[in-house]
Chains A and B, each alone.
Chain A
Protein backbone atom coordinates (compact mmCIF):
# COMPACT_ATOMS: atom_id res chain seq x y z
CA UNK A 1 0.00 0.00 0.00
CA UNK A 2 1.56 3.33 -1.07
CA UNK A 3 1.61 6.29 1.21
CA UNK A 4 -0.97 8.97 0.73
CA UNK A 5 0.30 11.88 -1.37
CA UNK A 6 0.78 15.25 0.28
CA UNK A 7 2.61 18.31 -1.03
CA UNK A 8 6.07 18.51 0.48
CA UNK A 9 5.49 22.12 1.47
CA UNK A 10 2.89 24.86 1.50
CA UNK A 11 3.12 28.46 2.61
CA UNK A 12 0.95 31.37 3.52
CA UNK A 13 1.07 34.76 5.18
CA UNK A 14 -0.16 35.45 8.70
CA UNK A 15 -3.93 35.76 8.79
CA UNK A 16 -4.41 33.96 5.48
CA UNK A 17 -5.77 30.47 4.93
CA UNK A 18 -3.90 27.51 3.49
CA UNK A 19 -5.11 24.10 2.41
CA UNK A 20 -3.06 20.92 2.51
CA UNK A 21 -4.21 18.12 0.23
CA UNK A 22 -3.95 14.41 0.88
CA UNK A 23 -4.55 12.25 -2.17
CA UNK A 24 -5.24 8.58 -1.87
CA UNK A 25 -7.17 6.05 -3.89
CA UNK A 26 -10.56 4.42 -3.99
CA UNK A 27 -9.11 1.82 -1.61
CA UNK A 28 -8.59 4.29 1.21
CA UNK A 29 -9.58 7.97 1.24
CA UNK A 30 -12.16 7.47 -1.49
CA UNK A 31 -14.06 4.75 0.35
CA UNK A 32 -13.66 5.38 4.06
CA UNK A 33 -14.43 8.42 6.18
CA UNK A 34 -11.63 7.46 8.55
CA UNK A 35 -9.26 10.26 7.62
CA UNK A 36 -7.27 11.90 10.37
CA UNK A 37 -4.71 14.67 10.51
CA UNK A 38 -1.77 15.13 12.85
CA UNK A 39 0.32 18.15 13.65
CA UNK A 40 3.96 17.65 14.60
CA UNK A 41 6.41 20.22 15.83
CA UNK A 42 10.15 19.44 15.42
CA UNK A 43 11.25 16.85 17.92
CA UNK A 44 7.75 16.53 19.35
CA UNK A 45 5.05 13.89 19.43
CA UNK A 46 2.35 14.04 16.73
CA UNK A 47 -0.88 15.61 17.89
CA UNK A 48 -4.31 14.65 16.57
CA UNK A 49 -6.10 17.69 15.12
CA UNK A 50 -8.77 16.17 12.86
CA UNK A 51 -10.48 12.77 12.82
CA UNK A 52 -13.32 11.22 10.82
CA UNK A 53 -12.47 13.63 7.96
CA UNK A 54 -13.76 16.78 9.63
CA UNK A 55 -14.17 16.38 13.39
CA UNK A 56 -11.98 18.25 15.85
CA UNK A 57 -10.89 16.80 19.19
CA UNK A 58 -11.71 18.86 22.22
CA UNK A 59 -9.23 21.67 22.66
CA UNK A 60 -8.19 21.93 19.01
CA UNK A 61 -8.65 25.39 17.53
CA UNK A 62 -11.57 25.86 15.13
CA UNK A 63 -9.05 27.41 12.74
CA UNK A 64 -8.38 23.82 11.68
CA UNK A 65 -10.96 22.16 9.46
CA UNK A 66 -11.06 19.05 7.33
CA UNK A 67 -12.96 17.90 4.28
CA UNK A 68 -12.95 15.25 1.61
CA UNK A 69 -13.86 15.02 -2.05
CA UNK A 70 -13.44 11.80 -3.92
CA UNK A 71 -10.00 10.37 -3.27
CA UNK A 72 -8.61 13.59 -1.81
CA UNK A 73 -8.87 14.83 1.74
CA UNK A 74 -7.94 18.36 2.72
CA UNK A 75 -6.87 20.21 5.83
CA UNK A 76 -7.55 23.93 5.88
CA UNK A 77 -5.89 26.22 8.38
CA UNK A 78 -7.43 29.65 8.59
CA UNK A 79 -6.06 32.77 10.26
CA UNK A 80 -2.49 31.51 9.92
CA UNK A 81 -0.27 32.09 12.91
CA UNK A 82 3.46 31.71 13.33
CA UNK A 83 2.91 28.74 15.63
CA UNK A 84 1.27 26.84 12.75
CA UNK A 85 4.65 26.54 11.06
CA UNK A 86 5.16 22.82 11.66
CA UNK A 87 4.59 19.51 9.86
CA UNK A 88 1.21 17.99 9.06
CA UNK A 89 0.40 14.37 8.29
CA UNK A 90 -2.77 12.78 7.01
CA UNK A 91 -3.77 9.21 7.70
CA UNK A 92 -6.52 7.00 6.30
CA UNK A 93 -8.02 3.61 6.94
CA UNK A 94 -7.41 1.39 3.94
CA UNK A 95 -9.43 -1.71 4.60
CA UNK A 96 -9.23 -4.67 6.90
CA UNK A 97 -5.95 -6.03 5.50
CA UNK A 98 -3.93 -2.81 5.07
CA UNK A 99 -5.61 -0.98 7.93
CA UNK A 100 -3.78 2.35 8.06
CA UNK A 101 -1.66 4.43 5.74
CA UNK A 102 -0.01 7.80 6.40
CA UNK A 103 0.81 10.59 4.02
CA UNK A 104 4.34 11.76 3.35
CA UNK A 105 3.89 14.90 5.41
CA UNK A 106 3.67 18.60 4.57
CA UNK A 107 5.78 21.37 5.99
CA UNK A 108 3.85 24.57 6.45
CA UNK A 109 5.77 27.83 6.23
CA UNK A 110 4.24 31.02 7.55
CA UNK A 111 5.79 33.82 5.53
Chain B
Protein backbone atom coordinates (compact mmCIF):
# COMPACT_ATOMS: atom_id res chain seq x y z
CA UNK B 1 0.00 0.00 0.00
CA UNK B 2 1.39 3.37 -1.03
CA UNK B 3 0.92 6.29 1.32
CA UNK B 4 2.38 9.75 1.68
CA UNK B 5 1.93 12.16 4.56
CA UNK B 6 3.01 15.76 4.96
CA UNK B 7 4.15 17.23 8.24
CA UNK B 8 5.39 20.60 9.35
CA UNK B 9 4.32 23.87 10.96
CA UNK B 10 0.79 25.12 10.53
CA UNK B 11 1.55 28.76 11.29
CA UNK B 12 4.51 30.89 10.26
CA UNK B 13 5.34 34.55 10.46
CA UNK B 14 6.38 36.53 7.38
CA UNK B 15 10.05 36.13 6.42
CA UNK B 16 10.34 32.82 8.27
CA UNK B 17 11.46 29.63 6.52
CA UNK B 18 9.04 26.78 5.95
CA UNK B 19 10.28 23.22 6.31
CA UNK B 20 7.89 20.48 5.26
CA UNK B 21 8.51 16.75 5.44
CA UNK B 22 6.85 14.14 3.28
CA UNK B 23 7.03 10.68 4.84
CA UNK B 24 6.07 7.90 2.47
CA UNK B 25 5.69 4.14 2.44
CA UNK B 26 5.06 1.47 -0.15
CA UNK B 27 7.91 2.53 -2.39
CA UNK B 28 11.55 3.52 -2.08
CA UNK B 29 13.49 6.47 -3.44
CA UNK B 30 16.55 4.32 -3.08
CA UNK B 31 15.58 1.27 -5.11
CA UNK B 32 12.53 2.29 -7.14
CA UNK B 33 12.61 4.62 -10.11
CA UNK B 34 10.21 7.16 -8.72
CA UNK B 35 10.07 10.77 -7.72
CA UNK B 36 8.31 12.82 -5.07
CA UNK B 37 6.96 16.26 -5.76
CA UNK B 38 5.36 19.14 -3.90
CA UNK B 39 2.24 20.94 -5.02
CA UNK B 40 0.41 23.69 -3.20
CA UNK B 41 -3.07 25.16 -3.32
CA UNK B 42 -4.02 28.50 -1.78
CA UNK B 43 -7.52 28.55 -0.30
CA UNK B 44 -10.06 28.62 -3.11
CA UNK B 45 -7.38 28.74 -5.78
CA UNK B 46 -5.65 26.49 -8.24
CA UNK B 47 -2.95 23.88 -7.82
CA UNK B 48 0.62 25.05 -8.29
CA UNK B 49 3.60 22.73 -8.81
CA UNK B 50 6.62 23.60 -6.66
CA UNK B 51 9.38 21.01 -6.86
CA UNK B 52 10.30 17.42 -7.68
CA UNK B 53 13.10 15.09 -6.66
CA UNK B 54 13.81 11.75 -8.29
CA UNK B 55 15.47 8.53 -7.20
CA UNK B 56 18.72 9.57 -8.87
CA UNK B 57 18.70 12.94 -7.03
CA UNK B 58 17.56 14.80 -10.14
CA UNK B 59 15.89 17.94 -8.77
CA UNK B 60 13.42 20.25 -10.50
CA UNK B 61 12.02 23.55 -9.29
CA UNK B 62 9.28 25.91 -10.36
CA UNK B 63 11.08 28.75 -12.14
CA UNK B 64 8.98 31.36 -10.34
CA UNK B 65 10.01 30.06 -6.92
CA UNK B 66 13.37 28.45 -7.63
CA UNK B 67 15.42 30.87 -5.56
CA UNK B 68 13.36 30.14 -2.46
CA UNK B 69 13.01 26.37 -2.71
CA UNK B 70 15.22 23.48 -1.74
CA UNK B 71 14.17 19.84 -2.02
CA UNK B 72 16.13 16.97 -0.51
CA UNK B 73 15.60 13.30 0.21
CA UNK B 74 16.52 11.00 3.06
CA UNK B 75 16.23 7.50 1.65
CA UNK B 76 16.96 5.86 5.00
CA UNK B 77 13.88 7.51 6.49
CA UNK B 78 11.70 7.40 3.36
CA UNK B 79 11.34 11.14 3.54
CA UNK B 80 11.48 14.13 1.22
CA UNK B 81 11.97 17.59 2.69
CA UNK B 82 10.98 20.89 1.11
CA UNK B 83 12.23 24.20 2.45
CA UNK B 84 10.85 27.52 1.31
CA UNK B 85 12.49 30.74 2.47
CA UNK B 86 11.05 34.20 3.02
CA UNK B 87 7.48 33.08 3.54
CA UNK B 88 4.77 35.65 2.92
CA UNK B 89 1.01 35.75 3.35
CA UNK B 90 0.60 34.84 -0.32
CA UNK B 91 2.27 31.52 0.47
CA UNK B 92 -0.65 30.53 2.68
CA UNK B 93 -1.85 27.28 1.15
CA UNK B 94 -2.40 23.59 1.53
CA UNK B 95 0.84 21.86 0.64
CA UNK B 96 0.71 18.37 -0.86
CA UNK B 97 3.40 15.85 -1.61
CA UNK B 98 2.79 13.30 -4.34
CA UNK B 99 4.55 10.50 -6.23
CA UNK B 100 5.77 10.56 -9.80
CA UNK B 101 7.00 7.40 -11.51
CA UNK B 102 9.29 6.43 -14.34
CA UNK B 103 8.59 4.84 -17.69
CA UNK B 104 10.80 1.78 -17.63
CA UNK B 105 10.91 1.64 -21.42
CA UNK B 106 12.01 5.21 -22.05
CA UNK B 107 13.86 5.77 -18.81
CA UNK B 108 12.11 9.11 -18.37
CA UNK B 109 9.75 10.31 -15.62
CA UNK B 110 6.03 9.99 -16.29
CA UNK B 111 5.32 13.54 -15.14
CA UNK B 112 2.08 12.83 -13.40
CA UNK B 113 1.18 12.25 -9.75
CA UNK B 114 -0.55 8.97 -9.01
CA UNK B 115 -0.52 9.04 -5.20
CA UNK B 116 -0.99 12.11 -3.03
CA UNK B 117 -0.67 12.91 0.62
CA UNK B 118 -3.59 14.33 2.53
CA UNK B 119 -2.11 17.82 2.45
CA UNK B 120 -1.16 20.20 5.23
CA UNK B 121 -2.44 23.76 5.58
CA UNK B 122 0.27 26.32 6.19
CA UNK B 123 -0.81 29.80 7.22
CA UNK B 124 1.54 32.76 7.07
CA UNK B 125 0.46 35.63 9.28
CA UNK B 126 2.02 38.14 11.59
Contacts and interface: CB of A to CB of B under 8 A. Distances in A.
A45 B112 contact: no
Interface string A56-93: 01000000000000000000000000000000010101
A74 B39 CA distance: 22
A18 interface: no
> Interface extent on A, as a size class?
20 to 34
Contacts of B48: 3, 102
B52 A99 contact: yes
Most buried by B among A52, A99, A101: A99
> Interface extent on B, as a size class?
20 to 34
Contact of A57 (B46, B64, B114, B116): B114
B107 interface: no
Contacts of B62: 1, 98-100
Nearest to A97: B63
Contact of B111 (A36, A89, A97): A36
B96 A34 contact: no
A46 interface: yes
B46 A102 contact: yes
User: B-side binding surface: helix, strand, loop or mixed?
Assistant: loop
Interface string B98-118: 000000000000111110111
B60 interface: yes
B36 to A, nearest CB: 13
B11 interface: no
A48 interface: yes
A89 B46 contact: yes
Contacts of A105: 45-47
A34 B46 contact: no
A55 to B, nearest CB: 9
Given A34-B112, A46-B113, 9 more contacts: A34-B111, A36-B112, A45-B117, A48-B114, A99-B52, A99-B62, A100-B111, A102-B49, A103-B46
Interface of A: 1, 3, 32, 34, 36, 38, 40, 45-48, 51-52, 57, 89, 91, 93, 96-105
